[in-house]
Amino acid sequence: MEHVISVLVENKFGVLAHIAGMFSGRGFNIDSLAVGETEDPSVSRMTIVVHGDDRVVEQILKQLNRQVNVIKAVDLSQETHIERELVLLKIATTAKNRREVIEIADIFRSKVVDVQHGSLTIEAVGSGAKIAALIDLLKPYGILELARTGRIAVARG
């Protein structure tokens, strides 16, 4: 089962490596990891996506919550939450197909953020499924570069 774990940590050197090490020590591959400062500059939010057994993830949450630099760790998969991802796609274009690529971007409510003679760069935000669908539609045009963030998530309400 997929788990989306949100961890509030003190914004200090080495905390990310320590937390990631806990997962690898348990034999978990981290599917996605995003870290950023919160509204409080002394606190960062880590959003970690892993696949694993509920029981083992529960043990990891207990270990996380016992760590000195961890303020709070929760499995958002157990509650209603909002998730988003960001992708930047540089697509090969010609004068002939540029309009088609822009129309696909528009359908996905994404933005063209750079235009060059032989390419367009598109920015898209949404669920993992939306991002994957956009990538699949743009593959035939030629993806020159792709940069994708990990998922970020917050509980609703």
Q: How far is CA 3 from the centre of its chain?
A: 13
Give the global pTM.
Answer: 0.84
pLDDT in tens, 38-96: 999 999 999 999 888 888 888 889 999 998 899 999 999 989 999 999 999 999 999 99
Per-residue model confidence (pLDDT) at position 102: 97
> Residue 37's beta-bridge partner residues?
44
18-26 mean pLDDT: 86
Per-residue model confidence (pLDDT) at position 55: 87
pLDDT in tens, 94-132: 999 999 999 999 999 999 999 999 999 999 999 999 999
Q: Which CATH superfamily, name and number, covers 82-155? A: ACT-like. Chain A, domain 2 (3.30.70.1150)
Per-residue model confidence (pLDDT) at position 54: 87
Per-residue model confidence (pLDDT) at position 138: 98
Give residue 153's pLDDT band: very low, low, confident or very high (50, 70, 90): very high
99: three-class secondary structure by DSSP: helix
Positions of CATH 3.30.70.260 in the chain: 2-79
In this structure, the number of other CB atoms found within 10 A of the CB of residue 115 comes to 11
Is the CATH number 1.10.3720.10 carried by domain 2-79? no
Residue for token pair 């016992």: 66
pLDDT at 1 over 90: no
In this structure, the number of other CB atoms found within 10 A of the CB of residue 99 comes to 10
Positions of CATH 3.30.70.1150 in the chain: 82-155
Q: How far is CA 61 from the centre of its chain?
A: 20
Alpha-carbon torsion, ordered 71, 77, 82, 84, to 10 deg: 90
pLDDT at 27 over 90: no
